[in-house]
Structure 1
Amino acid sequence: MKSNIKAVIIDWVKTIVLAVILSFVFRTYVAEATWIPSESMMPTLKVGDHLIMDKIVYKIEGIKRGDIVIFNPPPTAQLEEKVLIKRVVGLSGETISVKNGAVLINGVPIEEPYIAEKPRDDFGPYRIPKDQVFVMGDNRNNSYDSRFWGPLPISNIIGKAEFRYYPLNDIGMLNHN
């Protein structure tokens, strides 16, 4: 009887250890939950929204304009926050500027149906260095982003925000266009 109980306990311990290891690997390399602490991505994301970020997608398909990314801010941002969330607006090698409320890539305005309001201040032109991207919040006039602290090294990107799971009335995939 004692050996039977011992075998059951050993099976439970193995199962729990395996679950913890798989959870750690999944969270570290595949996907992770996060939440929105500020208004910089409104109206797309609101304060308190809870998201799932995909950590594998960039290794497979790369970064695209419009992606909502979670990243470690570069030292030039001089922030205490460990992670930020913004939208990729400009890609490596492109020239970005903001003129009269429009964001221009290589002199051509881009369509941005997701922004809260047009940016008030002009910026650039600025050529985005290799292996870096230019990120901005959707709440353009209330976002501390690449316009202030420069381009974001691609190596600082942790993952892509893919799915909102809270609040329940806003549950669903995020629109990156």
Structure 2
Amino acid sequence: MRPFHQNNLRALRTIAKNLKPASFNPPSRHISTKLLRSQPLIRSSIPSIKPHIILPSSVRHNSTSTLTSQTPESETDAERKQQNEDRRKNEEAYMITFTCKPCGSRSTHRMSKQGYHRGTVLIQCPSCKNRHVMSDHLGIFFDEKTTLEDLLKKKGEVLTHGKTDGNMEFWDDGTVKRSEAEAGPSSEGQK
């Protein structure tokens, strides 16, 4: 894991010192508050550079859309879900079956090749809900680009590679067996 550096804290403190809290300047004593309240509020399309009065949020809000014109979230969620399913059908992916060390549960997950080789991939165990790092090319969890092979090499373990053809698995060590993903219940990593 990446250690926390004091330089990061120093930068945050510097930013916090330079920020000034928002303050409200009450109207000047020379301007009557009755005069300010009696004037009609005029909405202008040109924003003023220095507003003299802080208006309530209901007046400051200049949105032209109404709540009724928005599409229901369930429709957009269903459309997004369908788009994601279509995209996943066409993208190259890895199937990984592993045993979670904390709980001993074995599960099968799908992860995209692009995410594995260029991004950061976490897989959540369906039993204990622990998240396991499969790769980190974005430097979120480790200081250097890391894949599952690198993590296992550090521990002295080996990752077994194989290929699937239909419901058959062909492993690099020469064994052939029926695919666990097709045979039993599985958990898919990307939902």
TM-score, length-scaled by structure 1:
0.27
TM-score, length-scaled by structure 2:
0.26
Q: Which has the higher contact order (CA 8 A, sep 6+)?
A: 1
Bigger radius of gyration among the two: 2
Considering fraction of residues, name the structure with more strand. Answer: 1
